[in-house]
C-alpha cells in the first residue's frame, strides 16, 4: 500500500558516494587544465570540500597540442604532492592520462608504458568531430597488451547520438564508459545531456568523473547539488555511478 507519509529521500550534500575522482586536469601548466601550482591547490581543496577522498588526475596526451610523456606527468605530480604537503592538505593524488586516439596512439600502445587507472585501465578520448579511423584497431591493441579501455565522456560524441548501436558495439568490445558529471546539468548542451541520461537509463555507464579543468568547473560542480533535478538523477543512478570498482578507499 502506498504510504502517504513516507519521507522523501534526502538530497545529497556532497560527492562522497563517488569516493574517487578519476578524471581531471589538475597538474599545472601541461594542458588546458590548471595553469599554476596555485590553481592546482585551489582546485584540489575544492574537490576535497566536495567529499572526494582520492584523486587520479588525467592530463591530456595529444600528439600536436599536448605532447606530454609519462616522465613530464610524473614530475608534475610530485610537484603537486609536495605543494599539498607544504599546505598541510591531506588528499591522496595519483596521475594517469587521457589519451587522444590520434595517429600516434598506436605507437604509444606498442611501447607499453601507458599511464593507467587502477585495474590497468586506460582513459581514452576521441575527437568531438568524428571517431578515429582506427578506433576498433586501437581497442583491440589495448586489450591485446592487457589494458582495459575506458572511454572518456561518451555522451559528448554527438556523431553517435542518432546511432546508439555504436555505443552498444563499443560496450560489446569491452570498452567501459566514464560520464562527466557536468553533462547531467546541461553544461555541454541539451543533446549531450540527453545522451548522458539515455546511457544511464540503459545502464551503460561504469564510472563518473568531474573532468575538472578550472575554477568555473569547480563552482558549477559544487552548485549542481543544489539543483533538485540533478541531485535526484544522480541518486537514482547512484549505484551505477559509484567508482567503487577502483577499490582505493
Give DSSP secondary structure letters for 109-145. HHHT----BTTTEEEEE--SSS--TTHHHHHHHHHHT
Q: Domain holding 112: CATH number? A: 3.20.20.140
Q: Is residue 1, in this structure, part of any structural domain at all? A: no
Q: Is residue 244, in this structure, part of any structural domain at all? A: no
* Rounded mean pLDDT, 67-77: 98
Q: Is residue 134, in this structure, part of any structural domain at all? A: yes
Q: Is residue 63, in this structure, part of any structural domain at all? A: yes
Confidence of residue 242 (pLDDT cuts 50, 70, 90): confident
Stronger pLDDT, 7 or 66, i.e. the higher one: 66
* Rounded mean pLDDT, 146-164: 97
Confidence of residue 249 (pLDDT cuts 50, 70, 90): very low
pTM above 0.85, yes or no: yes
The count of domains in the chain is: 1
Provide the domain limits for residue 161: 20-239
* Rounded mean pLDDT, 142-151: 97
Residues 158 and 189: their CA atoms lie apart, in Å, by 10
Contact assessment for residue 116 and residue 96, using Cβ atoms and an 8 Å cutoff: yes
Q: Is residue 36, in this structure, part of any structural domain at all? A: yes
Residue 20 CB: number of other CB atoms within 10 A?
25
Residue 2: pLDDT over 60: no
Q: Is residue 245, in this structure, part of any structural domain at all? A: no
Distances (CA, A) of 239 to 14, 41, 153, 246: 15, 30, 18, 14
Confidence of residue 10 (pLDDT cuts 50, 70, 90): confident
Question: Helices marked H in 12-163 — which ranges?
Answer: 37-49, 70-86, 105-111, 135-144
Q: Is residue 14, in this structure, part of any structural domain at all? A: no
> What's the chain's average pLDDT?
94
Amino acid at each position: 500500500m502506498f504510504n502517504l507519509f513516507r519521507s522523501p529521500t534526502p538530497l545529497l550534500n556532497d560527492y562522497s558516494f563517488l569516493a574517487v575522482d578519476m578524471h581531471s586536469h589538475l597538474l599545472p601548466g601541461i594542458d588546458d587544465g590548471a595553469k599554476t601550482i596555485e590553481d592546482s591547490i585551489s582546485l584540489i581543496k575544492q574537490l576535497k570540500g566536495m567529499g572526494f577522498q582520492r584523486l587520479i588526475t588525467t592530463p591530456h596526451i595529444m600528439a600536436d597540442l599536448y605532447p606530454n610523456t609519462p616522465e613530464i606527468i610524473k614530475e608534475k605530480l610530485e610537484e603537486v604532492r609536495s605543494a599539498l604537503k607544504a599546505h598541510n592538505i591531506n588528499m591522496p593524488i595519483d596521475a594517469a592520462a587521457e589519451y587522444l586516439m590520434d595517429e600516434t596512439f598506436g605507437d604509444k600502445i606498442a611501447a607499453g608504458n601507458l599511464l593507467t587507472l587502477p585495474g590497468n585501465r586506460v582513459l581514452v578520448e576521441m575527437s568531438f568531430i568524428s571517431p578515429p579511423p582506427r578506433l576498433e584497431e586501437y581497442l583491440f591493441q589495448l586489450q591485446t597488451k592487457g589494458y582495459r579501455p575506458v572511454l572518456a565522456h561518451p555522451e559528448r560524441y554527438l556523431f553517435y547520438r542518432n546511432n546508439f548501436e555504436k555505443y552498444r558495439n563499443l560496450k560489446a568490445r569491452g570498452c567501459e564508459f566514464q560520464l562527466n558529471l557536468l553533462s547531467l546539468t546541461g553544461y555541454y548542451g541539451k543533446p549531450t545531456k540527453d545522451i548522458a541520461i539515455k546511457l544511464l537509463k540503459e545502464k551503460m555507464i561504469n564510472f563518473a568523473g568531474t573532468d575538472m579543468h578550472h575554477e568555473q568547473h569547480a563552482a558549477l560542480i559544487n552548485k549542481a547539488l543544489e539543483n533538485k533535478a540533478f541531485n535526484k538523477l544522480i541518486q537514482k543512478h547512484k549505484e551505477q555511478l559509484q567508482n567503487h570498482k577502483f577499490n582505493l578507499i
